[in-house]
Structure 1
Amino acid sequence: MRIETSAGPAEVEIDRPGRNKPKFLLVLTHGSGGGVDAKDLLAVRDSAVELGGAVALVTQPYRVAGRRAPGKADVQDAAWLEIVAALRKKVRGVPLVQGGRSNGARVACRTAREAEVRGVLALSFPLHPPGKPEKSRRDELLAPGDIEVVVVNGARDPFGIPEAADATEVNIIAGQAHSYRAGFDRIVEVVTPWLRRWGGV
């Protein structure tokens, strides 16, 4: 399906748990130059659907338009909030959680309070540009509080790794860099109990 936003159309694929009413809605998005076919996103999607959740995989407007760079954060965030609002109308009356990988994780964190989500899943959160730790994006992460933030980063991520105090939970995938080539079973192990809380299972 397409959702019109102030930044152009977004494309959304929604997976539901069969004919049963979803227990929660998980909205996920991609990194800057990537797509929703990233293996870590698909592993999380499959786990969430198995637990009874509905999962919306969102291709953001800039990617639909063929661009690799997301552009200004305020424009990207405004479009994301419009997407989430539209999805709330599609899947009503259930807890909402959101997340993404890399740039998508940043968007999910930055908009979490305004979107009034229960939790955020940040895959490969890019703490800083490679080789520039002084340009930290730590302030985009939500410190432990009213919104649960679960971070999953590779141990060799050149974009840096958030510290334990930066989120509700920080998990490290051994041997992996920014884009995971393995460790998907470990990601599912981390994410599954977190998702169970939203579905009451």
Structure 2
Amino acid sequence: MTTLDVETPHGPALVELHSAEEGTAVLLLGHGAGGGVDAPDLVAAARGATAAGVHVALVQQPYRVAGRRAPAPARQLDAAWLAVARWLGENWFRDLPMVFGGRSSGARVACRTASAGGAAAVLCLAFPVAPPKTPERHRLAELDAVDVPLLVVQGERDAFGRPESGSHREVVVVAGDHALKADPIGVTRAVEEWLVRVLRPLARPD
């Protein structure tokens, strides 16, 4: 594992790099609003990605690096994320396809920035469709705006709801709730199988 400090418009972000053998792509993973990159589903997803031959960059947002638990505004999260993605593309993973991903709040960031960041695909773990007490305040527009292959891995008892599959969107349901702790093997398997399938057309010829 390699740890990097990356400057962003809103302070330094911290990136943990996990290399895959002969990696053909890189998966950037962001954490939830109040958590870190050690969340069980992020660890499981990273394991699945490296097994699929994909490098992993676990991205800790500047507000968490600074020791704050309350998340920064969405525009700051998005700007910091894109700055990290650009820096990694220029300095570590030149010419490799990038997959944006994350859990909960991090999944929303991945969706919102996918187009601007040129993501080849998007992975959402525990996407928070709507607050449990106000289901009318849903965030489905963020998912619907993604026009590249999109995988959502959702707990069967997630209080934040579950999106439907769509033209670009696959939904895999695993045991557990919003924390996605109950079935890490299921998360790993879903991520590995999906990455192998969606990245195969992007593989560079020998």
Structure 2 length as normaliser, TM-score? 0.90
Aligned length: 197
Segments of structure 2 that go 5 or more residues without pairing to the other structure are none
Mapped partners of 2:37, 2:146: distance in 1: 27
Distance in 2, matches of 1:67 and 1:125, equals 22
Q: Which residue of 2 aligns with 1:49?
A: 50
Q: Residue 128 of structure 1 aligns with which residue?
A: 130
Deviation at 1:144, TM superposition (A): 6.7
From the superposition, tell whether residues 167 and 63 of structure 1 become closer, same or farther in structure 2 (CA, over 3 Å): farther
Calculate percent identity across the aligned residue pairs: 46
Corresponding residue for residue 180 of structure 2: 180
Q: After TM superposition, give the deviation of residue 80 of structure 1 in Å.
A: 0.8
Look up the SS of the partner of 2:144 in the other structure: coil
So what's the TM-score if we normalise by structure 1? 0.92
Deviation at 1:117, TM superposition (A): 0.5
1:165 shift after superposition: 3.2
Q: Does 1:86 align with 2:87?
A: yes
Q: Deviations over 1:17-63 (max 9, x none)?
A: 25x4x210110010001110111111111121122221100101111
CA RMSD of aligned residues (A): 1.8
Alignment pair present for 1:2 and 2:9:
no
**In structure 1, what is the equivalent of residue 102 of structure 2?**
100
Partner residue, 2:34: 33
Relative to structure 1, is the Cα distance of residues 9 and 118 closer, same or farther in structure 2, using a 3 angstrom cutoff?
same
Contact 2:13–2:59 (CA<8 Å) still a contact in 1? yes
Q: 2:166 corresponds to which residue?
A: 165
Give SS of 1:164's match.
coil
Asked whether the equivalents of residues 153 and 174 of structure 2 are also in contact (C-alpha less than 8 Å), the reply is: yes
